[in-house]
Amino acid sequence: MQLFLDTANIEHIRHGVRLGVITGVTTNPSLVSKEGKLDYRRLVQEICSVVPGPVSTEVLSQDVSGMVAEAKEVASWAKNVVVKIPASLEGVEATYRLARENVKVNFTLCFSVNQALLAAAAGAAFVSPFVGRLDDIGEDGMRLVKDIVEVFKNYPDSIKTEVIAASIRHPQHCIEAARAGAHIATVPYQVLTQMIQHPLTDIGIKRFLEDWQKVMGATANVKH
């Protein structure tokens, strides 16, 4: 499973890429707004220059021609731009039109298998089931990821749409997304940093250092 970073914060993105584990980024209007009032085109281009893979940016228009025009404009800013189109009928038509013109679409705000099927049929490169938001209303968000992956696997020759587990809220979601067979999980920066944490690792590092220093003193074990 690939890991994307779910943020528009350039410092967090730089760090994730430096770690060598982040292959893409997803943003949305709320995440971009968190960064304050800014030059959107510049931000998208900067993120795209830092990230090796797809960078999702969301359209604001809700009608087909508006979505298509907005998507084409943003897609012209950098080669790795992917355009997020919402799961509406207008979104399906816009996805179909954009896919025919080789603009990659991330079909977003997906809350059902049927929405995912329509995304795939229209030619979306990615579909993003929102796990956390379904959990928030008492449903099983990861069940949706599992179901979409299972259904897509029945059609390996015709469905090439990749499943992005989105709206990830905690490290357990990452494990569950990988178990479910999601191609990608897009994780907030905080979750990325939580993924490495384990108290026994911290205790182990501390104890190794203490044992070493008791005998060898405060020196490194190799000269450099």
79 flagged as catalytic: no
Q: Minimum Å distance from CB 131 to ligand E4P?
A: 8
Q: Say how many C-beta atoms besides its own lie within 10 A of residue 148's C-beta.
A: 26
95 vs 128 by CB, closer to ligand E4P: 128
Residue 162's alpha-carbon distances to 29, 102, 132, 150, in angstroms, are 22, 16, 19, 12
CB contact burial 15-34 (16+ within 10 A = b; e otherwise): ebbeeeebbbbbbbeebbee
Q: Which stretch binds ligand E4P (CB under 6 A): 62-70, 92-100, 113-121, 127-135?
A: 127-135
Q: Which of 86, 128, 148, 191 binds ligand E4P (CB under 6 A)?
A: 128
Structure tokens at 208: 């190794």
68 vs 165 by CB, closer to ligand E4P: 165
Strands (E), the chain: 2-6, 22-26, 55-58, 81-86, 105-110, 126-129, 162-165, 184-187
C-alpha–C-alpha distance, residues 29 and 27, integer Å: 7
Q: Interaction with ligand E4P in 4-43: which residues (CB under 6 A)?
A: 6, 26, 28
End-to-end Cα spacing for the chain: 37
Q: Minimum Å distance from CB 104 to ligand E4P?
A: 14
Q: Interaction with ligand E4P in 159-218: which residues (CB under 6 A)?
A: 166-167, 186
136 vs 202 by CB, closer to ligand E4P: 136
Q: Which stretch binds ligand E4P (CB under 6 A): 11-19, 125-133, 175-183, 204-212?
A: 125-133
**At 11, which helix (H) or strand (E)?**
helix 10-19
Tell me if 144 contacts ligand E4P by CB under 6 A.
no
The answer to whether 113 touches 144, Cβ cutoff 8 Å, is: yes
Supply the residues annotated as catalytic: 84
Residues near ligand E4P (CB under 6 A): 6, 26, 28, 108, 128, 130, 132-133, 166-167, 186
